[in-house]
Amino acid sequence: MGTTDTSGPAPGRGAVVLALRRYGSELLRLRALALPALLLPAVGNIGIRYVAPLLIAKLAGQAADDGGLTLDSALPYVLAFGAVLLLAEVLWRIGLHCLNRVDALGMEHLYVSGMDELLAKDAAFFHDNFAGSLTKRVLSFGKRFEDFVDTLTYRIVGSLVPLAFGAVVLWSYEPMLVAGLLLMIALTVVAATPLIRRRQRLVDQREAAIARVSGHVADSLTNMETIRAFAAERREADEHRDRVADSRRLMLRSWDYGNLRVDVLIAPMSVLTNVLGLLVAVAFGGAGQGVEEIVVAFTYYSNATQIMFEFNQIYRRLESSMTEAAQFTELLLDPPTVLDPAEPEPLAPRDTGVRFEAVTFAHAGAEPIFRGLDLDVPAGARVGLVGRSGGGKTTLTRLLLRMSDIDAGRILIGGQDISRLRQGDLRSLIAYVPQEPAMFHRSLRDNIAFARPGATDAEIHAAAAAAHVTEFAGQLPDGFATLVGERGVKLSGGQRQRVALARAILRDAPVLLLDEATSALDSESELLVQDALWRLMEGRTALVVAHRLSTVAGMDRLVVLDRGRVVEQGSHGELLAADGAYAKLWRHQSGGFLGESTESTESTESTESTESMEDTENKEGTQGTEKAENAGRAGSTEGAGVAAVDPVPHARTSTGPT
Ligand SMILES: Nc1ncnc2c1ncn2[C@@H]1O[C@H](COP(=O)(O)OP(=O)(O)OP(=O)(O)O)[C@@H](O)[C@H]1O
Ligand SMILES: [Mg+2]
């Protein structure tokens, strides 16, 4: 229950005003087309609804006066009648030609600018909003412009301008005709407004029920595997049926209210208005003008009372298009938080070292995960980041990429504060492999090439070979041209990781940021990929997150992160010798994953192991840092004698599980 991804509360006033402003400025931008688009159909309607009937009225008047008609006396009217209708059609065609362009050009611009605004949003925004809902909102924002402009053209300008013309003509016959008509329209609007408001509530309930249906369908379809695995098809179908029945009930209620309540009020008002018009025409029509005036009064009143029925629909259509547009503009009310500085520093790093200085950061609405964190990754160093799940490793890598902004402190790359660089410049320095690499539903080749537009085929294939993508690409139905499915579902977890590594290799950036880049690989594939990685790390600065300690044991320095704090750092050998938190983790792992043997303590919320880490920090905090300073440069010189037992070819300091 409650998967109402597409509904949510109705957008506020600010969002509706913003949507109106956006649509209004489109009309202004396209004014050379918008003006004829709005006015020509209205002028055409004057011809069809008011001028042509006026000619008929004049003809009837003439017939009454002359006691009959001859072809000669009727011909001018017939010709004028034809000319007016023809002209009206021409105006309509020109108007629609312009309207089509206003709709198409306006939508194009809104689709593009809407996407631009989403691309400017920060990572936190996409954590808070579902992709499905954003897709619907940004597309509706463009699409609803058509409804808005069409309603404005056909229903509002197209009705009101001719009505004003009709009023002027009626006035020339008899001012009372105008007074009567306007009075009746005003009375109807006043009487119908509360009913339309009440209907609005029913319509909102109906729309919410429809959104509950689509939310459930989307949720079920994305979780199809889980439904199958738990044999829950029947349950999901029943839930769907209930929701559809609920929306049918609410749909009928709102439609019935429109037909049985709103129109039941408007219909007699409309009849009354028409009768009144006829009465006024008869009562006030002078002897000579009688027939003509009665025909004019009848047709004009009958046209005008149509508007009474349309009033309900106009309101509804404008309201629904503006509500949908506002569901997008409400996303724009909060500007993105991660922005390029007004005057960015030119990119001029003195080296590729990375420093976190007294960094404090909290995820929105959560307790700070880092408080005054310091971490130094000297240029050219290979640093492994390890620690218990949830300790903040991924968060740290994402802060370096500036996916979110920190609350205090500084992050430096090559001595430059990353918040003073352009985001694009900063990220051009970093090759990143995320913990859960996502794929585009594009070809395997395009997924790799994404890392560097303009890369040659040879470069792409070299990267693919280095990341051992080539092996499995050969087995895919279309090789490198195979589409990998939504989010890459047609690839295995390990294959996706290899594609992500190929991207990083192709990116060829000076700083490598690997978050569990090889976690989904079996030991044998990992061995192969590690080989490529070590070669890639040559001459670069690398920050490598891994749960499998054997993956990082050979790094120049290891940093143990727990609950957002660096509890230990040093080389593998040093940390084992220190017999602290890392040594304990290492003992828990026999070539497997961190946490496998500590799971029971973690899941029962026991703080035993955490406490022991904190003890370690108190005892060894400073010592660890000193060691780290040395280890940063000296990692490759020690422990060669024990490398034989290490599962990682390049691990130079490992003593293996003890
Ligand atoms: N977008 C987010 N919003 C709120 N909290 C978050 C968000 N992302 C992560 N967290 C929280 O921050 C903490 C650190 O998460 P992080 O992903 O950095 O851990 P990790 O060390 O990478 O863990 P793992 O080893 O499981 O990958 C966790 O408690 C997590 O719940
Ligand atoms: Mg993580």
Considering the domain boundaries, does residue 313 fall inside one?
no
HSE (CB half, 13 Å, CA atoms) of 216? 18
For 282-308, the DSSP string reads HHH--TTTHHHHHHHHHHHHHHHHHHH
* Nearest protein Cα to ligand 1, atom 13: 390
Average confidence score pLDDT of the chain: 84
Span 560-579, pLDDT tens digits: 998 888 999 999 999 999 98
Q: Establish whether residue 366 lines the binding site of ligand 1, counting it when its CB lies within 6 angstroms of any ligand atom.
A: yes
Ligand closest to Cα of 547 equals 1
Ligand 1 site, residue 198, Cβ cutoff 6 A: no
Task: Report how far ligand 2's centroid is from the alpha carbon of 519 (Å).
Answer: 11
Please indicate, yes or no, whether residues 128 and 47 belong to a single structural domain of this protein. Answer: yes
Provide the 10 A C-beta neighbour count for residue 432. Answer: 24
Ligand 2 center to 629 CA (angstroms): 25
Cβ atoms of 432 and 513 closer than 8 Å = yes
* 183-192, 203-212, 258-267, 605-614: least confident range: 605-614
Residue 413 in any domain: the answer is yes
pLDDT above 50 (res 135):
yes
DSSP H/E element including 369? strand 368-377
Place 289 in a pLDDT band, splitting at 50, 70 and 90: low
Confirm or reject: Cβ of 126 under 6 Å from ligand 1: no
Alpha helix ranges (H) inside 333-422: 393-400
Residues 83-107: pLDDT tens digits?
A: 999 999 999 999 999 999 999 999 9
444/578 same-domain check: no
Residue 648: DSSP 8-state: S
Q: Which of 505, 532, 560 is the last residue of a domain?
A: 505
- Assigned domain for 622 exists: yes
Q: Which residue's entry shows tokens 């290891």?
A: 558
Q: What percent of the chain has pLDDT over 70?
A: 87
pLDDT for residue 199: 85
Residue 317 lies in a domain: no
Q: What is the mean pLDDT of residues 495-523?
A: 89
Q: Is the same domain home to 521 and 599?
A: yes
Between 391 and 606, the more confident residue is 391
Q: Is residue 53 part of a domain?
A: yes
**Are 558 and 447 part of one and the same domain?**
no
180-210 pLDDT, tens digit each: 888 998 998 899 889 888 888 888 888 888 8
Q: What is the pLDDT of residue 288?
A: 54
Q: Given its phi and psi angles, is residue 565 left (phi above 0), alpha (psi -120 to 50 degrees) or beta?
A: beta
Instruction: For residue 493, report the distance from its CA to the centre of ligand 2, in Å.
Output: 16
For 188, residues 6+ apart whose C-beta sits below 8 A from its C-beta are 265, 266, 269, 270, 273, 308, 311
- Which atom of ligand 1 lies closest to the CA of 392? 18
498 falls within a domain = yes
pLDDT band for position 9 (50/70/90)? low
- How far apart, in whole angstroms, are the C-alpha atoms of residue 658 and residue 646? 12
Q: What is the pLDDT of residue 628?
A: 37
**SS3 of residue 58 by DSSP:** helix
pLDDT of residue 334: 85
Burial status of residue 211 (CB atoms within 10 A of its CB: 0-12, 13-18, 19 or more): buried
Q: Which helix (H) or strand (E) holds 96?
A: helix 71-119
Residue to mutate (ligand 1; options 360, 375, 395, 594; most atoms within 8 A of CB): 395
Specify the DSSP element, H or E, that contains 622: helix 608-634
pLDDT value for 335 = 85
Instruction: Give me the helices (H) in 257-384, please.
Output: 263-284, 290-332
Q: How far apart are CA 641 and CA 636, in angstroms?
A: 12
Tell me the CB-side half-sphere exposure of residue 351, using CA atoms within 13 A.
11
Instruction: Give the per-residue pLDDT at 504.
Output: 92
* Nearest residue (CA) to ligand 1, atom 17: 394
CB 158 within 8 Å of CB 314 = no
- Which of 340, 523, 508 minimizes the C-alpha distance to 432? 508
List the residue whose alpha carbon is closest to atom 2 of ligand 1. Answer: 363
Range of the domain at 205: 175-284
Q: What are phi and psi of 286, to 5 degrees?
A: -70, 165
Please compute the mean of the pLDDT values over residues 465-477 and round it to a whole number: 91
101 with 61, same domain: the answer is yes
Give the pLDDT band (50/70/90) at residue 604: very low
Q: Are residues 207 and 84 in the same domain?
A: no
List the helix and strand counts (H, then E) for the chain.
Answer: 24, 10
The two tokens of residue 360 are 């404090």
Q: Do 167 and 184 lie in a common domain?
A: no
CB of residue 8 inside a 6 A radius of ligand 1: no
Taking 80 as the threshold, does the pLDDT of residue 59 lie above it? yes
- Out of 361, 393, 404, 407, give the residue to mutate to test ligand 1, the one with the largest number of ligand atoms within 8 Å of its CB: 393
pLDDT: which is higher, 46 or 287: 46
Name the DSSP class of 522: -
Which residues partner with 265 through β-bridges? none
Cβ proximity of 215 and 3 under 8 Å: yes
Same domain, 412 and 455: no
Distances (CA, A) of 454 to 347, 424, 445, 457, 469: 22, 17, 13, 9, 20
Task: Please tell me whether residue 117 adopts helix, strand or coil conformation.
Answer: helix
Q: What is the mean pLDDT of residues 390-403?
A: 93
Q: How far apart are the first and last CA of the chain?
A: 51
Residue 78, in any domain of the structure: yes
Enter the tokens of residue 512: 């490598």
445, 439, 496, 427 alpha-carbon torsion, rounded to 10°: 90
**What pLDDT is stored for residue 124 in this prediction?**
84
Shortest-distance atom of ligand 1 to CA 547: 25
Could you tell me if residue 242 is inside a domain? Answer: yes
For atom 5 of ligand 1, the residue with the nearest CA is 363
**Is there a single domain that holds both residue 195 and residue 225?**
yes
Q: Are residues 618 and 520 in the same domain?
A: yes
- Do 100 and 226 lie in a common domain? no
Which residues surround the ion ligand 2 when the cut-off is CB under 5 Å? Answer: 393-394, 435
Measured CA distances, 240 to 216, 230, 254, 356, 608 (Å): 7, 17, 21, 51, 47
Phi-psi region for residue 372, left (φ > 0), alpha (ψ -120 to 50) or beta?
A: left
- Across the chain, which distance is largest between two alpha carbons, in Å? 126
Quick check: CB of 395 below 6 Å from ligand 1? yes
Q: Is the CB of 392 under 6 A from ligand 1?
A: yes
Cα(392) to ligand 1 centroid in Å equals 6
494 with 602, same domain?
no
Pick from 394, 405, 513 the residue to mutate for probing ligand 1's pocket: most ligand atoms within 8 Å of its CB: 394
| pLDDT for residue 6 is more than 90 | no
Phi, then psi, of 157 in degrees rounded to 5: -60, -40
302 lines ligand 1 (CB under 6 A): no
Q: Is residue 597 in contact with ligand 1, taking CB distance under 6 Å?
A: no
Domain count, the chain: 4
